[in-house]
Chains A and B, each alone.
Chain A
Amino acid sequence: MPTVSVGRDRLYGALGETYTQEDFEKLCFEFGIELDDVTTEKAIIRKERHLEGEAEDEDEEVIYKIEVAANRYDLLCLEGIARALRIFIGKEEIPVFKVTDVPHKSMLKMHVKPETALIRPFVVCAVLRGITFDEARYNSFIDLQDKLHQNICRKRTLVAIGTHDLDTIQGPFSYEALAPPEINFVPLKQVKSFRADELLELYRSDMKLKRFLHIIENSPVYPVIYDNDRTVLSLPPIINGAHSAITLETKNVFIECTATDLTKANIVLNTMVTMFSEYCEKKFEVEPVEVLYSDGRSCIYPDLTVSNMEVSLADITGPIGISLEASEVVPLLNKMQLQAEKSSTADGKCNIIVSVPPTRSDILHARDVMEDVAIAYGFNNIPKSKPKCMTMGGRQPLNRFSDKIRAEVSRAGYMEVLTWVLCSHEENFAMLKRKDDGDKAVIIANPRSSDFEIVRTSLMSCLLKTVKHNIDHPRPIKIFEVGDVVILDAARDVGAANNRQLAALYCNVASGFEVLRKFGIPDPCSYVEIDIQALL
């Protein structure tokens, strides 16, 4: 779940009310976000640098770290959280977003070259006119782009956002894909011009940017956006040009989102403009940009249309398990930023027409509407009921059988252990003097460490590791485990199958078969392992 850091005082300012932390936590709990941590800017820096013991400054700004649902991109900034809560507590009406009526001739244009299809085929754009930044708003604007890049944009692979001071550039713009040596510009935070391929070399040592290079570095062409004077706006998804960088004084912002996924590009663009048009001269108004493809297709963005969803009242209240009138459901939906009105069908059933705003890309189905009603009603206010169906309980025979074996072996004086099925290749084979014929073990493709290389094909190494960690325990050591191993099996749909095994190990100063120095066990051990699944 993403976490958003917001200044507490600024948040309360935006909410028009000061809360105690307890009351604010309660509000978050009801709405479905969570106050994860309370800290300060300096405390965060101290933590990052592992500094301790420095006295906290009384007047440091308190920061709330708020955890929000992963599909609520509209809650990834202070503006969105404050707006959603204001509407939730009935302090604000649902905003109506408007695309400015611009004559087609004077509308800004973005021309898309066909080569972009080779690397990053989509671009969507919009303009925020007459915006007023201050330091806090500006930082929030930058942070929101970061959060979107991290989450829905999947670390810029699916979508990358570029924002520019429109007064420094000249439309129409063009979105192209060129061979790296053909691209030359001064990137952000640099003073001299770089060739695109040299620039990527430079960023190889950049802690933040090096993580994105893989998206384009092996492509014969890099995506690039130019203005009418061939000024580079950006080299998506890596870096913007220095020329068009926005500042606190920027009044008009040009936003472009390049993407491999058009649906997500639209969600990202809509999130940016619906959040920050709040600070525009004409509040909640966004200027459109026409995107023209070389084959003649053209689209106008942003698409801020409100989509209507007609849901029957029974489909909302039924699955919740409460009975409400349409007149009661409508205000609940309004609390969740959904405009709604009652309508009746010809057969006398009651329907509700729900208007889904561009900020609520998470609403896919009537079920999502139902959930919003349930949240607004309060999960904890719903009277509990019991499912009526009559069913019989029962165990899996193999599991019940395993439990009986476990009971028998423990009655014989053995101690049960429980170990991990993941292990290193060496533990499962070489250390047991067993050869890997390659036809038995499941192999992990992306292990974090050698401890997770394969899935065990026998319980032996697991029991030996357990003895090793208890090497000082008084003898005799008598342990057992009933557990699954996994063996490649061409007869199964996935190509592998579990098998239930019993293993028991006896370790004493004398009377055993073998001494296992590789496992760090100096005493002889006797060991037996059998397939109990076959005995079922």
Chain B
Amino acid sequence: MAAEKAILEFLKEGDEIPDSQLFAASVGIDHTELENVIKSLRGFEIIETQDIKKESFVLTDEGKLYAVEGSPEVQFFLAVPPEGITRDDLKKKLGDNIFNIGLSWAMKNKWVEIKKQLVSRKVENVEDKVKDLLKKIEDGEVVDKKEDIDALKKRKLITLQMWKAYSLRKGTKYAPERKKAATDLTREHLQRGDWKDLEFKEYNLSAQGQPIQVGYLQPLLEVREEIQNIFLQMGFEEMPTNNFVESSFWNFDALFQPQQHPARDSHDTFFLKVPAATRQLPEDYVERVKRVHESGGYGSKGYGYDWKREEADKNLLRTHTTAVSTRMLYMLAQQKSFRPKKYFSIDRVFRNEAVDRTHLAEFHQIEGLICDHGLTLADLLGVLEDFFTRLGMSKLRFKPAYNPYTEPSMEVFSYHEGLKKWVEVGNSGMFRPEMLLPMGLPEDVNVIAWGLSLERPTMILYGIDNIRDLFGPKVDFNLIKNNPICRLGLL
């Protein structure tokens, strides 16, 4: 502040500060400090500057030493007593360095002589011209004689230094006192009314903002929410799927999935040690299911094998949420009068599979189903079109497929514009009469249903190629932080 004040005060009267170096010396401020103020004032156009390049000599470390202690030759001379001194004694007195340099210059100046190792004076008094010159230079005085300068330079006692200085004049926005630019408009500015005279600092629009403390939701669950919304828009009611432990009966048998089916192999399904078996099943329904497996009925031939209750009792971690759909349909069939239903769920299912880039032992299944009189395959095609179009997949194709509890069964393919190919996006079908009729549903009631995983479309959506980067403890926090807003269903 003192430096700024000094400059502005001076220029109030004076025209120009010709040399900032000299000015700094005259007001007793370090030039480096002054230079910062000069740059800042120049930035606000309060002063104008011109660069001056200046050369001056400064003392080297050796020079500084002699400026205080005297030149070596004078030290040497003064150390020689009038009666003389032996060379060795003198060396001891002065030290090797001063002795050597001093000797050489004192001899040259013809101040001393050496006879038979005895050093003695040749003159009475000497003048320390070197010390005087060094002191002058140190004080910034001008040394006129070129040969003196050259001699000191040769002895490496001084060195030439470039100085930068400025000449200063008033700038276009000169004022004897600088107004500080305001960085923000405050309530006080408005109350005082001084905002009119304020200068505001310009916004730096390329500066990084301060990080803000916010929370985040998991990307996979953000996608889940959008798909839930699609189901809700379409009039679907969510099923209670918070029961991971299920019996083989509800997971397989009730779905007309035979007991020798490969999916019931321990290589595919997690069976349980505790609780190993289910405690209760609806016995009359179990009896009807057993019959339809063994010998058919309801217009079916059945599978023709010995159905075993122990197999049906085995507990497992559900392999699909269709186990819940089956319970819901069974409950619906127990109602006094039939009412059409649209159900959906998105929840976890479990497969005893080797974990790799595309497979996990647990993942989320999306399932939708409609139960009503006289539903048709054409209705299923129409509903799939509605659903997948909302997910951004409007180009669909359907392929005949096989599934033990649906007939017909269709795989749903969608044309992916990015991958430039048809990709399988889901499975669908009409539940078999052998599944629905033993529940007690009316004969003309059909159920159309479809399912897909939540992870796969999410991976395609966000270009993630390893499922463990999306779901599970190895997900990187930065993925959760940086994931874009989920735009599914906004189309």
Contact = CB atoms under 8 A, between A and B. Distances in A.
A30 B360 CA distance: 31
Interface stretch (A66-74, A136-144, A207-215, A337-345): A66-74
A393 B276 contact: no
A445 interface: yes
B407 A368 contact: yes
Interface in A276-335: 318-322
Nearest to B296: A364
Given A396-B238, A495-B245, A382 B400 contact: no
Interface in B258-287: 260, 262, 266, 270-276, 278-281
B480 interface: yes
B245 A390 contact: no
B113 interface: no
B432 A442 contact: no
A491 B385 CA distance: 42
Interface residues of B, number: 103
B408 interface: yes
B381 A466 contact: no
A403 interface: yes
B75 to A, nearest CB: 61
A414 B473 CA distance: 16
A71 B301 CA distance: 15
B100 interface: no
A497 B243 contact: yes
B218 A69 contact: no
Contacts of B281: 493
Given A261-B260, A410-B216, A493-B280, A72 B383 contact: no
Interface in A457-495: 462, 465-466, 468-470, 473, 477-479, 484, 486, 488, 490, 492-495
A342 to B, nearest CB: 20
Given A413-B215, A421-B362, A442 B272 contact: yes
Interface in A411-470: 411-422, 438, 441-448, 451-452, 455, 462, 465-466, 468-470
Interface in B220-256: 220-221, 225, 228, 231-240, 242-247
Given A368-B407, A393-B232, A446-B352, A418 B220 contact: yes
Interface string B414-453: 0000000000000000101110000000000010100000
A52 to B, nearest CB: 20
A34 interface: yes
A411 B215 CA distance: 6
B341 to A, nearest CB: 6
B354 interface: yes
Nearest to A462: B473
Given A389-B340, A421-B362, A455-B244, A384 B382 contact: yes
Contacts of B237: 391-394
Interface of B: 213-218, 220-221, 225, 228, 231-240, 242-247, 260, 262, 266, 270-276, 278-281, 296, 298-305, 315, 317, 340-342, 348, 350, 352-355, 360-362, 370, 372, 374-379, 381-383, 385-386, 397-402, 404, 407-410, 430, 432-434, 446, 448, 471-478, 480-481
Given A387-B342, A393-B233, 7 more contacts: A1-B402, A365-B434, A366-B299, A406-B217, A418-B475, A448-B361, A495-B278
29 contacts: A29-B399, A31-B400, A69-B401, A71-B402, A322-B378, A375-B400, A386-B383, A387-B342, A388-B372, A389-B372, A392-B237, A393-B342, A395-B238, A418-B218, A420-B473, A444-B272, A446-B266, A447-B352, A451-B355, A455-B245, A470-B476, A479-B477, A486-B244, A493-B247, A494-B245, A494-B247, A494-B275, A495-B278, A496-B315
Interface of A: 1, 29-32, 34, 69-72, 151, 154, 158, 261-264, 318-322, 364-368, 370-371, 374-375, 379-380, 382-396, 398-399, 403, 406-407, 409-422, 438, 441-448, 451-452, 455, 462, 465-466, 468-470, 473, 477-479, 484, 486, 488, 490, 492-498, 500
